[in-house]
Structure formats: structure tokens, C-alpha cells
């Protein structure tokens, strides 16, 4: 298997999926008063799903919500300690509390009702209290839930005055309540169960369901899509398993993951005390509502895309291990997933191209620095390379070369006037006292945007930026998070070798 560009065809049909998904959720609403639907994963900007399901709209869940919005409202949960410690989302580079505000804006723009924000496991944290006032000043209700000792296993406590009863009931007005959050550990499940307790006390027939995109319950356990999910969560120790409860109840194979399997007996016992008998689930799979398989229209193509994602995750784990973010156990698990999938790093074509180019130009680099190059595989299969020079960094060089190719501009023509580049370098070196006046990708893109106003050649290249979307790239050295974010914003899937650009500690 060799990686190819993924824009040549589609493996996923969003319209087909949306039709089936919305129909199934509405079916869950039949014969009950309220359904609390826990949304796992990313509600907005699900780039993992987009990569493993070519054609998948990363915001398709938002589109789904617009189909449900006349009968739905949203509760956003956030763990108070995540606010206190400024927990970050790695994909957007923003804190969890900032992500909550971003989510509210996204929902309001689509006229999707936000019921409230809930601070979970709140105990008077200073930053969480400030955030509460901030949200309330924006006209959004905020509720506070304290931690419950013994949750979720001590049912005697849960159903006492020190359990669900001590946390306030969130008033809702719609039959479908979407419970979401900025990331894992936000307290979504506890919120749903707390609400079910209060609804039961009020004589309201309510139920709980879970919407997780991955793993895909009705695909084989070792299908690359499910393995790619394991690779994406390898640091969380998530493991895909067969749902033995489902097999016993229906004699049907289904895939779930270890945490749901471990929690299911407890959840079922809680539901037995908060729901009518006809709403008690027989398996973790029963709790789910996801119909993602219905949108897959080319299984072989999807498998290829998922295998590429496994390789991308492998490179990310290698980098994380290099800088100390993950330990040897996580790294070993990732290596095992690669071996079980019969994959190597060379199954990503941009990796092979980057390594070959780095070897061919290594004599141009000093003994203190590693050969810093990037190879970009465009969506039509063309391979473009770029290396670090005294003028620009490797990402900038590769992008400029790629834009020339996409715009049909001769390699002999300068996209940016040498005088412009020299002026920026002089600014960095002389005015800003930078010891590294090499131009970065961000600086080159700004220069290109400005030049496009008066330079027709630069304008043609600037207009070609959108054609970079879907490209696959690999760097021979680790890049800064800012640079990786910029490449991803251009639609480029970037991987990096776990190699520092400088061989000296000071240089890194």
C-alpha cells in the first residue's frame, strides 16, 4: 500500500449519511418525552473523520443539528478544573473556556438554541468563577454541579440527598437535549444521568443515548477506520473490543471500546432507577445512535485513507515521545498498531520523497543542523520539495514551489521581489534583533498577499492557495506548532520526523 492524494474521488456521501442519521435520532424520540443525547468527539471541525472518510464534511454534525434544531437545544459542559488550569485544545490552540465561547457563537449563527453552560465538579475555583460571570454577562445561563463522592458506582449515595439530588436540575423546553463539551472529561455522561434522575422525580419519561462517531460499531473490529480511532486515542488507553453484551443479547457482532464496556453495567443500573423498563439498554452498542457506516460509498478507498491516518498518528506519537509528552508504553502501543496493520512509514509517499531529498542536499547543511526539507504531494500526485536556505525556512520554500506548480509559473520567475524579502529580513535582523532572520511560512504568505495587490504573477499564485487543500506533506525535522497549524489551515496534512532541526540543545 502506498499513499496517494485523496481528492481524486470520494469515499463518503454526506447527504446519504444525514438522511439516515436524522431519521434514526427522530426514531429514538418516539414514545418518550425527552432524550438526552451525549455528543462525543468533535461537534465542529472533526478533521480526524474528514481524513479517514474522504468526502466527509468536518462540520456535518452542525448540519445535522440544523435538521434537528426545531426540536433540540444544547447544554455545554466544561470541567471547572480545565478552566482553572487553562487546558488547551491541541487542534485550535485555544483554551477549553475559549472553545466554549466559540461553540456558543457557532450555534447562535445557525439559530441553534443554547440552553445553558454547566460547570462540572465545581468547587469555587477562581478562574471558573470568573468564567461563569463572563458567560452570564453574555446572557447565557450557567449552572454549577459539584462532584459526587462515589460516582458512578455507589448507587446508594447517587440516589440519596448527597447524590444527584444535590445538583440543580437544568430546566429544558425541547424533547431533544444535546449534551456536549469542549473535550474529553467534561462531565457529559454525569450531566445526562443527573438530568434523568430529576426527570424521573418529576414523572417525565426521559432516556439517554450516545453519539460517538468512532469506533464504528457495524464495521469489523480490525477495519482500518476502527484501528485509526485506536491510533488517535492511543495516549488515552482506548481499546476497541467486541461488545459481548450485544452478542449475548442479539447474536450479532458489534464493536465498542473498553471504557463504554467497563461503564455499561453501572450505567444500566443507574438507568434502571431513572427510566421505565422499556428504556433499559441491553448493550453499550444499544446506547449509540451513530449511523456513520450508511455514508460510506467506497470501502476500499476509505480503508486506504484510514491507513494513511494511522501512519500520521505514528509520526505524531514519535514526536510526542521525543519531547517527553508520552511514555514508552504509548509509543510501543503505536508501534504495535502499525505492525498489526502491516504498515511502515514508507507507505506514506511524501515521507519517502522527503528522506530522499534530505539525503541529496545534506552537504548543504552545517554539522550543527539537520537537513531541513519538506516534500508535498499534491492532490494530483505531483511531488514538490523545498529546503531551508539562508532566505526562507523549508515550509515556506516548499509552499512557494508548490504554488508555482499549481499556478503554472516558471521556476525561473520570482514570486516575491528580492527587495521585498531583503527588507523583511533586515527588519527582523536589525530592528527586531532576531538571531534567525530566515523568513517563515507565515511571513512569506503575508508578503505574497501584499504583493498580489500590485504583482499579477503573485496574484495568480495567491489564488492557487486553495488548491493546496488535501495535499500530503512530510518534514525531515520537527516543526513548530504554529507552522503546523498554518499548514493545516491551508488544508495540508503534515507529518514530521522526530528530529530536532539543531543538534545543539540551545538551538532547539
Which helix (H) or strand (E) element contains residue 358? Answer: helix 349-361
| pTM (2 d.p.) | 0.89
Q: With beta carbons less than 8 A apart as the criterion, state whether 343 and 307 touch.
A: yes
Average pLDDT, the chain: 92
**392 contacts: CB under 8 Å, gap ≥ 6:** 400, 421, 438, 439, 440, 444
Lowest mean pLDDT among 227-231, 279-283, 302-306: 279-283
Helix (H, G, I), strand (E, B) or coil at 94: strand
- Measured between alpha carbons, how far is 181 from 44 in angstroms, rounded to an integer? 11
- Greater confidence (235 vs 474) lies with 474
pLDDT more than 90, % of the chain: 80
Q: With beta carbons less than 8 A apart as the criterion, state whether 355 and 476 touch.
A: yes
3: pLDDT strictly greater than 60 = no
- What local confidence, expressed as pLDDT, does residue 366 receive? 76
φ/ψ (deg, to 5) at 17: -65, -45
Mean pLDDT of 279-297: 94
Domains of the chain (ranges plus CATH)?
A: 14-209 (3.10.630.10), 348-496 (3.40.140.40)
CA angle 24, 30, 35 (to 5 degrees): 80
7: pLDDT strictly greater than 50 = no
Amino acid at each position: 500500500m502506498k499513499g496517494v492524494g485523496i481528492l481524486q474521488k470520494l469515499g463518503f456521501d454526506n447527504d446519504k449519511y444525514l438522511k439516515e442519521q436524522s431519521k434514526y435520532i427522530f426514531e429514538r424520540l418516539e414514545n418518550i418525552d425527552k432524550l438526552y443525547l451525549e455528543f462525543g468527539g468533535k461537534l465542529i471541525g472533526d478533521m480526524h473523520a474528514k481524513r479517514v472518510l474522504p468526502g466527509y464534511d468536518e462540520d456535518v454534525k452542525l448540519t445535522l443539528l440544523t435538521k434537528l434544531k426545531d426540536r433540540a437545544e444544547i447544554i455545554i459542559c466544561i470541567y471547572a478544573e480545565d478552566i482553572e488550569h487553562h487546558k488547551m485544545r491541541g487542534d485550535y490552540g485555544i483554551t477549553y473556556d475559549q472553545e466554549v465561547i466559540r461553540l456558543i457563537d457557532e450555534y447562535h449563527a445557525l439559530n441553534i438554541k443554547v440552553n445553558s453552560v454547566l460547570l462540572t465538579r465545581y468547587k469555587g475555583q477562581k478562574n471558573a468563577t470568573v468564567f461563569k460571570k463572563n458567560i452570564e454577562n453574555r446572557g447565557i445561563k450557567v449552572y454549577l454541579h459539584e462532584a459526587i463522592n462515589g460516582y458512578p458506582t455507589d448507587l446508594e449515595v447517587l440516589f440519596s440527598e448527597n447524590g444527584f439530588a444535590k445538583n440543580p436540575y437544568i430546566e429544558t423546553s425541547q424533547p431533544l437535549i444535546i449534551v456536549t463539551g469542549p473535550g474529553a472529561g467534561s462531565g457529559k455522561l454525569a450531566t445526562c444521568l443527573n438530568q434523568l434522575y430529576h426527570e424521573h422525580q418529576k414523572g417525565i419519561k426521559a432516556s439517554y443515548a450516545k453519539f460517538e462517531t468512532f469506533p464504528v460499531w457495524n464495521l469489523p473490529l480490525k477495519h482500518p477506520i476502527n484501528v485509526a480511532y485506536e491510533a488517535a486515542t492511543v495516549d488515552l488507553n482506548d481499546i476497541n473490543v467486541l461488545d459481548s453484551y450485544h452478542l449475548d443479547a442479539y447474536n450479532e457482532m458489534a464493536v465498542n471500546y473498553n471504557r463504554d464496556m467497563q461503564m455499561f453495567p453501572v450505567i444500566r443500573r443507574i438507568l434502571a432507577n431513572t427510566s421505565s423498563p422499556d428504556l433499559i439498554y441491553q448493550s453499550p452498542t444499544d446506547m449509540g445512535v451513530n449511523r456513520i457506516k450508511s455514508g460510506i460509498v467506497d470501502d476500499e478507498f476509505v480503508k486506504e485513507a484510514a491507513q494513511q491516518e494511522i501512519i500520521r498518528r505514528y509520526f505524531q506519537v514519535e514526536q510526542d515521545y521525543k519531547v517527553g509528552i508520552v511514555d514508552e508504553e504509548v509509543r510501543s502501543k503505536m508501534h504495535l498498531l502499525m505492525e498489526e496493520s502491516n504498515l511502515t512509514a514508507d507507505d506514506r509517499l511524501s515521507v519517502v520523497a522527503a528522506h530522499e531529498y534530505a539525503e541529496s542536499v545534506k552537504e548543504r547543511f552545517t554539522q550543527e543542523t539537520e537537513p531541513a526539507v519538506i516534500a508535498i504531494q499534491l492532490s494530483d500526485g505531483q511531488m514538490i520539495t523545498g529546503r531551508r536556505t539562508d532566505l526562507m525556512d523549508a515550509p515556506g520554500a516548499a509552499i512557494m514551489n508548490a504554488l508555482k506548480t499549481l499556478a503554472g509559473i516558471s521556476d525561473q520567475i520570482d514570486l516575491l521581489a528580492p527587495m521585498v524579502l531583503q527588507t523583511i529580513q533586515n527588519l527582523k535582523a536589525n530592528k527586531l534583533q532576531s538571531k534567525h532572520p530566515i523568513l517563515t511560512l507565515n511571513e512569506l504568505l503575508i508578503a505574497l498577499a501584499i504583493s498580489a495587490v500590485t504583482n499579477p504573477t503573485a496574484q495568480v499564485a495567491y489564488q492557487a492557495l486553495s488548491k493546496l487543500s488535501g495535499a500530503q506533506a512530510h518534514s525531515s525535522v520537527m516543526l513548530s506548532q504554529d507552522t503546523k497549524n498554518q499548514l493545516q489551515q491551508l488544508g495540508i496534512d503534515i507529518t514530521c520526523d522526530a528530529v530536532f532541526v539543531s543538534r545543539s540543545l540551545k538551538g532547539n
